[in-house]
């Protein structure tokens, strides 16, 4: 009987099997329909082809069609690691296979919109499972700076496990205890999830400094554009704080691992920063996407496309301060309306 089931065999889902099996226990890695090659490789040799490591021997890989049987064995925890675009599919599969309450820990990042406002994904998952099955399950989340490859290599990683029921969150943490996985608890589920999603959004703007540097080149004394990037980074944290507070989270969460820490590591590398660089070069979003990142999922851009109109509506209604979110408005204009990305420094840091 598996103690932990991980739904989603991508890099982060698979990387979570490392802390999960540090205290040896059976873990089942269930792939989505897009993970067939990964499941086949792990089944044959334990090798995860995208992580470049062999997963522990106590990890069993199975296709998504086996989820019903796996969940029927009543695991202690389900880790949900599909992409944000796969959440609806995952809800369908979980609702069809869950017969007894199994706590869910989400590593999927993203937000949804409901009734003209923004909803965190754990709330959506929890509500839909109860609506479809009548089963109430706690849905928690992991936030903070965690690059999958580093976790898979057993590099020290500090994260936040968030849940409205701290006792359930503590139980989830106990299943993931490992000397390289430094998890802390918080009941600020909303704050952690807002930070986790919007860090991708704001990393686009921070990454634009790289493209701007390429356009302008190094100064005659060799100076780069770290000042510019740091200014945008700081403004991003200020606006993230506004969002967290307005959506019912705790502003201090932005100052910790879920906000500052996760934004920092996201700005170091990744698809959001690459998109930002292209915008900084002067490309429109549509051209950058179609010509340079057609096959890439850019989480921050997807968030803008999903929620840009909602953010603007919330500003118009006074639920968000329009004059206090110039960076947010600039990113929405660039992604949603294909306008040049303009960083309005005259409106920052007020």
276: domain CATH number is: 1.10.1040.10
Q: Which helix (H) or strand (E) holds 125?
A: helix 121-133
CA quadruple 329, 334, 337, 340: dihedral positive or negative? positive
Q: Label the pairing between strands 4-7 and 53-54.
A: unpaired
Of 199, 245, 289, 329, the catalytic one is 199
CA 276 from chain center: how many Å? 18
For residue 22, what pLDDT band results from cuts at 50, 70 and 90?
A: very high
- Given 158, 187, 216, the domain boundary residue is 187
pLDDT of residue 269: 87
Predicted confidence (pLDDT) at residue 2 exceeds the cutoff of 90: no
DSSP 8-state secondary structure symbol assigned to residue 247: T
**173 and 60, same domain (yes or no):** yes
pLDDT at 1: 58
Of 143, 167, 187, which marks where a domain is finished? 187
How deeply is 42 buried, as exposed, middle or buried, from its count of CB atoms within 10 A (0-12, 13-18, 19+)?
buried
Among residues 270, 284, 20, 297, which one has the least CA distance to residue 142?
20
Same domain? For 96 and 151 the reply is yes
User: Chain-centre distance of CA 190, in angstroms?
Assistant: 13
What's the rounded mean pLDDT across residues 152-181?
97
The residues facing 181 across adjacent strands are: 157, 178
Looking up tokens 């099955």, which residue turns up? 133
> Which residues on adjacent β-strands are paired with residue 139?
104
Average per-residue pLDDT in the chain?
96
Query: Domain tally for the chain?
Result: 2
Q: How far, in Å, are 106, 231, 257, 265, 283 from residue 161 at the CA level? A: 9, 29, 11, 18, 38
High-pLDDT (> 70) share of the chain, %: 99
Q: What is the mean pLDDT of residues 132-158?
A: 97
171 and 228 housed in the same domain: no
Of the residues 141, 162, 187, the one at which a domain ends: 187
295 with 157, same domain: the answer is: no
Q: Return the H-helix or E-strand segment holding 143.
A: strand 139-143
Q: Which domain holds residue 265?
A: 190-347
Residue range 145-153: mean pLDDT, rounded: 97
Model's pTM, two decimal places?
0.94
Give the CATH number of the domain where residue 154 resides: 3.40.50.720
| 271 and 159 fall within a common domain | no
Same domain? 218 vs 320: yes
- For 184-241, write each residue's pLDDT tens digit: 999 999 999 999 999 999 999 999 999 999 999 999 999 999 999 999 999 999 999 9
Known catalytic residue at 190: no
Query: What average pLDDT does the segment 60-80 reach?
Result: 96
- What's the mean pLDDT in 33-59? 97
Q: C-alpha 331: how far from its chain's center?
A: 18
Pair (288, 339) in one structural domain: yes
What's the pLDDT at 336?
98
CA distance 300 to 303: 5
Classify strands 59-62 and 27-30 as parallel, antiparallel or unpaired.
Answer: parallel
Residues 126, 259: one domain?
no
Mean pLDDT of 342-348: 96
Query: How many percent of the chain have pLDDT more than 90?
Result: 96
Are 55 and 175 found together in one domain? yes
Give Cα separations from 226 to 223, 276, 279, 316, 318 (angstroms).
9, 15, 17, 34, 34
Please state the rounded mean pLDDT for residues 246-275: 96
Per-residue model confidence (pLDDT) at position 237: 98
For residues 110 and 198, give the distance between their C-alpha atoms in angstroms, rounded to a whole number: 8
pLDDT at 116: 87
Q: What is the pLDDT of residue 21?
A: 96
C-alpha span between 288 and 274 (Å, rounded): 10
Query: Are 265 and 250 contained in the same domain?
Result: yes
276 with 142, same domain: the answer is no
Q: Is the pLDDT of residue 90 over 80?
A: yes
Distance between CA atoms of residues 231 and 263, nearest Å? 14
Tell whether 26 and 128 lie within a shared domain.
yes
CA–CA distance, 319 with 263 (Å, rounded to integer): 24
């Amino acid at each position: 009987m598996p103690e932990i089931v991980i739904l989603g065999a991508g890099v982060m889902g698979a990387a979570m099997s490392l802390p999960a099996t540090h205290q040896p226990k059976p873990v089942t890695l269930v792939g989505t329909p897009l993970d067939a090659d990964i499941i086949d490789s792990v089944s044959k040799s334990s090798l995860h082809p995208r992580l470049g490591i062999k997963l522990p021997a106590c990890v069993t890989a199975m296709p998504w069609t086996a989820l019903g049987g796996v969940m029927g064995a009543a695991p202690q925890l389900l880790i949900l690691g599909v992409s944000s675009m796969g959440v609806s599919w995952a809800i369908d599969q979980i609702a069809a296979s869950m017969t007894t309450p199994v706590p869910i820990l989400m590593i999927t990042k993203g937000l949804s919109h409901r009734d003209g406002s923004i909803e965190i994904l754990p709330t959506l998952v929890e509500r839909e499972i109860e609506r479809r099955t009548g089963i109430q399950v706690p849905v928690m989340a992991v936030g903070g700076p965690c690059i999958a490859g580093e976790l898979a290599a057993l590099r020290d990683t500090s994260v936040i496990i968030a849940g409205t029921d701290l006792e359930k969150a503590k139980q989830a943490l106990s299943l993931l205890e490992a000397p390289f996985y430094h998890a802390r608890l918080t009941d600020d589920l909303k704050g952690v999830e807002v930070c986790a999603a919007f860090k991708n959004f704001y990393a686009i703007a921070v990454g634009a400094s790289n493209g701007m540097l390429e356009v302008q080149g190094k100064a005659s004394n060799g100076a780069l554009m770290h000042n510019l990037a740091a200014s945008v980074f700081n403004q991003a944290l200020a606006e993230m704080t506004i969002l967290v507070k307005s959506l019912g989270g705790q502003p201090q969460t932005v100052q910790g691992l879920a906000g500052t820490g996760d934004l920092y590591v996201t700005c170091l590398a990744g698809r959001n920063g690459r998109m930002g660089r292209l915008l900084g070069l002067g490309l429109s979003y549509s051209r950058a996407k179609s010509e340079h990142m057609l096959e890439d999922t850019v989480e921050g851009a997807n968030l803008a496309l999903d929620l840009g109109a909602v953010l603007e509506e919330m500003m118009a209604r006074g639920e968000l301060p329009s004059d206090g979110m110039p960076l947010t408005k600039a990113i929405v204009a660039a992604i949603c309306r294909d306008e040049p990305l303009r960083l309005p420094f005259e409106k920052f840091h007020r």
